[in-house]
Amino acid sequence: MKTSKLTRRRFLQLGGLGTAGILVAAADPGLAQTHQVVVEKVEVWLERLPKELDGLTIVHLSDFHYASERDSTVIRAAVRAANALNPDIVVLTGDYVTVSINRSSFSSAQSAAPCSQILSDLHAPMGVFAALGNHDQCNPQFIVRSFESHGITVLKNYALHVERGGARLWLAGVDDVLEGKPRLEEALQAIARGEPTVLLAHEPDFADAVKGYPVDLQLSGHSHGGQIRLPMAGATYLPPLARKYPNGLRRLGPLTLYTNRGLGTVVLPVRIDCPPEVTLLTLRSGLTTLPS
């Protein structure tokens, strides 16, 4: 298995880019948005969605990167924002902890306990569901236990359904693509033919493989939206499997993809021109045109 830890070369590279971002933010303080949670409201049209599920809402959160109590501020703010939206479902798409060059896997995994405790305050009548990210591979068993002990269902190569008005929506999740053991066919095998499916997959560029399967909507994170975005230059760094589809909504053939910017940070505790995101997705029955 590949290591999740940052290499020294990448650490220095990101540090240099972060320094550039901080200098830009100092020149224009309005660009520094590390804790200013933004709610993005998005309508998602799905051709196979039954009329009974039209209007169903999903709050999507991602990339929490809890490493210390300092990180709880933005996560608590996101939980408050999510609950205020009164969603039917909440989904979490990974990276609850942070693995770095100066933290052991054991220490990193322990952060799942306070992170899951904060996230246990999320409210959704149809449930709260999670998938794992690449940083969570430091000790996935411990992290799964931490979340499930707080009533959050972890979908690891597995699917289940929710119902409204006699119609079903399937929620599936795969293990992390970069560092875990993702088994997409296993995750989808229980899904009834023709029924709409939402897939939780940490890395957005995995959509290129998913679009050949009967999945209607993929929800991902991983990119942080770039975390540090410079005027005119855009994202200073995007990780592997988040370079094609780093942000927002798009259509890939029959598959719709949404990539969330995430909440936390890595390497430097700063976001520049890339605020933490809480996404409210409203599902609509039908078809519309989106950029590919």
Give the tens place of pLDDT for each residue, 237-292.
999 999 999 999 999 999 999 999 999 999 888 999 999 999 999 999 998 777 77
Q: What is the pTM of this model?
A: 0.90
> Tens place of pLDDT for every residue, the chain, 292 residues?
343 444 444 544 455 455 544 544 444 445 567 789 999 999 999 999 999 999 999 999 999 999 999 999 999 999 999 999 999 999 999 999 999 888 888 899 999 999 999 999 999 999 999 999 999 999 999 999 999 999 999 999 999 999 999 999 999 999 999 999 999 999 999 999 999 999 999 999 999 999 999 999 999 999 999 999 988 788 989 999 999 999 999 999 999 999 999 999 998 889 999 999 999 999 999 987 777 7
Domain ranges of the chain: 8-285
What pLDDT score does 290 carry? 76
What pLDDT score does 25 carry? 46
What pLDDT score does 257 carry? 98
Q: Two tokens at 139?
A: 């000790």
What pLDDT score does 12 carry? 44
What pLDDT score does 19 carry? 52
CATH number for the region 8-285 comes to 3.60.21.10
What pLDDT score does 233 carry? 81
What pLDDT score does 31 carry? 53
What pLDDT score does 1 carry? 35
What pLDDT score does 10 carry? 52
Give the tens place of pLDDT for each residue, 83-97.
999 999 999 999 999
